[in-house]
Structure 1
Amino acid sequence: MLSDALDTLRDLAGSDPGEALRTLRERHPDVRFRLLRQREEYDDSLHYDLLIKRAGEGTISLSWCPESALPWPLRGVHRASELLLLRIDGVGVTVAEAVARLDFLWDEARLMDRIVTAALLQAELEESPVELTDDELQEAVDAFRRARGLLTVERTREWMDQRCLTEVDLRELVAGEAAVARVRERVTAGRVEPYFAENRAEFGTARIASWGFPDAESARQAELDDCDAELMPGTRLVIEDVPVAEIGRAKAGEVFAPTPRSLVKVISISDAVLDAGTRRRVEQRIFEEWLAERRLAAKIEWFWGTTARTGSL
């Protein structure tokens, strides 16, 4: 395997890297290969490394350099402009300065989680690429536009201009989303039915009545009156079906207060059925657990903030 990998690196100079890597993966399907590319700014030369992983073992880093090129330990010369994120009217803003202004990220767990998730998925796609045909990509673009109400050329152009996107940028964005959807299909394939059977109780549906009150005192009085609140001035009542996970351990007929100014009464709880909606929820749960496992196994380094903050994350 190492001999084949080294031959692949040697042949990359005059071949398609994607095709060469595909051939290597076909020869050794039990091994995960990730190709790293590094372009040297001062002479525009390109250098490749292979990361080789086998389940239950460590990682092999394989590098090869032609006689006329610069070996990887000697690379890394940086231009001053590489430290700039943007320049406005001749005034440059460095990456470090911009990141220093993003301190609110430390208090926004969802955003930080999305950043980490995106990086994990990118690594997965580099190791196990997803290839889309032109028709599949066009179908994904059409679905992307429909989901955002971009039903005309003019509306689509306006949306793209607001985000400084070109047609190429849009197709790359959609291709990325479609590739992640394929990864999700790959991760959940053959696991939905067994997972649902084992965790069926968690995917039931609860019918609830939710009351919103003008103040906390009204909510307390309604709870004492067994939620006879329909006639109280300023009270809002909504009856809806929600996933049983949203009611915690509450049973049918029980009342609980999610906030001081609201009450929820559980009307009934229905057993789960593996229909299309439930299947999506099961797939999402499996995918989230898979991502959580990848996070635990990954080495994540934040390059700004204090040691205490980065350590806690």
Structure 2
Amino acid sequence: MKIDQVIALQIEGENYSLGTVLRFANLQGKFDLIDDYITISLIATYADEHSITASQEEIRAAVTDWKMEKGMYQSLDTEKWLAERLLSTSDLVDFARRKILNDRVRKHVVSGKVEPYFADRRSLFDAVAFSQIVVNDRVLARELRFRTMEGAEFFSLARQYSIDESTRLAGGFVGRIERTQLPQAIAAHAFGVIPGTIAGPFEIDKKFYVVKIEEVYPAELNEATRARIEGILFEEWLSLRRKQANVNVSLWNED
């Protein structure tokens, strides 16, 4: 059967073939599902190469967890859901197995690499909590900073003058932001100072920022930071694995 004979979507009574959908995706350059499956397959290959497996008991537990997440407490509910999507129980079991392998391959790939990565890039994970006043005029920004130095309440000035709607009503409070997420002008003055320091004005994208450093958080290898680094390392590994893989997407070979 050719892809133009397979109905992929029905929208308000009109049918759209798989071929139509794929051609649109090709023009858009978006094949996320295919890319996802390539990733899953590369992970499965790595698991085979390194004898990383999942037991039947673990797979059954993963399937049960999936059912609970979907609110499927009866076997008939699961069977109906699968049938509506032309899936089988074996497809679900394979999905659960691959999910377990994904987690285990991730841990295998990043094992022993998190600590050195953190040690080499520790400063990147420093964070700061700050508030800001954003205005369109440098002179006004200087005046507002001067007023804070004289004792005016920063949050009151922010609510009165700041043009940044996302922080104005909160008295300019931005929250906790890591060094790499900060504009360079602010990052250069945000660390190594005592809480309460007022800095600026800084010109960023033709706007002028006066900031108050609320708190400084030196980097530490806690659970959240470890998870982030594991994610970075795993994505780097996957990117390299994709480049090295011999992948041929033959969607248009219908014969």
The aligned residue for residue 179 of structure 2 is 244
Q: Unpaired segments of 5 or more residues in structure 1? A: 1-80, 212-217, 306-313
Q: Unpaired segments of 5 or more residues in structure 2? A: 146-153, 191-198
State whether residues 255 and 263 of structure 1, in contact with CA within 8 Å, keep that contact through their aligned partners in structure 2: yes
Q: 1:132 is matched with which residue: 54, 62, 86?
A: 54
1:153 correspondence with 2:153: no
**How far apart are the structure 2 equivalents of 1:167 and 1:256?**
59
Q: How has the CA–CA distance of structure 1 residues 300 and 278 changed in structure 2, closer, same or farther, with 3 Å as cutoff?
A: same
Kindly state the Cα deviation for residue 169 of structure 1 after the two structures are TM-superposed: 3.7
State whether residues 209 and 266 of structure 1, in contact with CA within 8 Å, keep that contact through their aligned partners in structure 2: yes
1:203-242 matches, cutoff 5 A: 203-209=125-131, 219-220=135-136, 224=141, 225-226=144-145, 228-231=157-160, 235-237=168-170, 238-242=173-177
State the TM-score, normalizing by the size of structure 1. Answer: 0.51
Deviates more, 1:272-281 or 1:195-204: 195-204
**How far apart are the structure 2 equivalents of 1:256 and 1:301?**
50
State the TM-score, normalizing by the size of structure 2. Answer: 0.61
**How far apart are the structure 1 equivalents of 2:204 and 2:97?**
40
Kindly state the Cα deviation for residue 95 of structure 1 after the two structures are TM-superposed: 4.9
Deviates more, 1:264-273 or 1:199-208: 264-273
Q: How has the CA–CA distance of structure 1 residues 181 and 127 changed in structure 2, closer, same or farther, with 3 Å as cutoff?
A: closer
Kindly state the Cα deviation for residue 179 of structure 1 after the two structures are TM-superposed: 1.5
Kindly state the Cα deviation for residue 189 of structure 1 after the two structures are TM-superposed: 1.0
1:273 correspondence with 2:198: no
Task: Give a deviation string over 1:215-254, Cα, whole Å, max 9, x none.
Answer: xxx7425972347312459633344223332115323146
Kindly state the Cα deviation for residue 273 of structure 1 after the two structures are TM-superposed: 0.9
**How far apart are the structure 2 equivalents of 1:262 and 1:173?**
51
**RMSD of aligned residue pairs (Cα, Å):** 4.3
Query: Residue 224 of structure 2 aligns to a residue in which SS?
Result: helix
**How far apart are the structure 1 equivalents of 2:208 and 2:56?**
51
Kindly state the Cα deviation for residue 292 of structure 1 after the two structures are TM-superposed: 2.0
**Structure 1 residue identity aligned to 2:120:** E
Kindly state the Cα deviation for residue 184 of structure 1 after the two structures are TM-superposed: 0.6
The aligned residue for residue 39 of structure 1 is none
State whether residues 208 and 264 of structure 1, in contact with CA within 8 Å, keep that contact through their aligned partners in structure 2: no
- More helix by proportion, 1 or 2? 2
**How far apart are the structure 2 equivalents of 1:219 and 1:204?**
27
The aligned residue for residue 37 of structure 2 is 118
Count of residues in Structure 1 that have an aligned counterpart in Structure 2: 210
**Structure 1 residue identity aligned to 2:180:** A
Q: How has the CA–CA distance of structure 1 residues 282 and 304 changed in structure 2, closer, same or farther, with 3 Å as cutoff?
A: same
**Structure 2 residue identity aligned to 1:244:** R
